[in-house]
Amino acid sequence: MCRIFAGQDPSDYEPETRSLRLNGQSTSIRLERSFWDILDDIARSEGVSTPAFVSKLHSEVLELRGETRNFTSLLRCACLVRLRHTLPTVQLEAAE
C-alpha cells in the first residue's frame, strides 16, 4: 500500500517559493510543487492568474476571519477541498 505514496516522484514534493503581492505587500510563499500545480489549476478555472487567486483568497479570509493565521496551511487545505470536490467526478467517470 505505501509504495504508491513512497514511490511518488520527488519533484512533486520539492518545495517551491513564489513571490507575490497580498493586499499590496510583497511576500513569498513556499509550498510543495504539487500544491502549486493544484493552485494553478484552480486559478486557471477561475480565469485569473495564480497570484491574483491567492491574493483574492487572502483578502476574503481577512474579511471573514479578521486574520490569516497560517496562510500556507490554508492554501494546502484549499487544495484538498478542490480535490474532494473533483474526486467524486473522477471516480464516476472511471466507473462508466
26 located within any domain: yes
Predicted confidence at residue 90, as pLDDT, reads: 54
* Distance in Å from the first CA to the final CA of the chain: 25
What global pTM score does this model have?
0.85
25 located within any domain: yes
C-alpha span between 16 and 10 (Å, rounded): 13
78 located within any domain: yes
Number of domains observed in the structure of the chain: 1
Would you mind telling me the total number of residues written for the chain in this entry? 96
- Span 34-83, pLDDT tens digits: 999 999 999 999 999 999 999 999 999 999 999 888 999 999 999 999 99
2 located within any domain: no
Instruction: Give 1's pLDDT tier (boundaries 50, 70, 90).
Output: low
Burial class (CB in 10 A: 0-12, 13-18, 19+), 39: buried
- Domain of 83 in residue numbering reads as 9-95
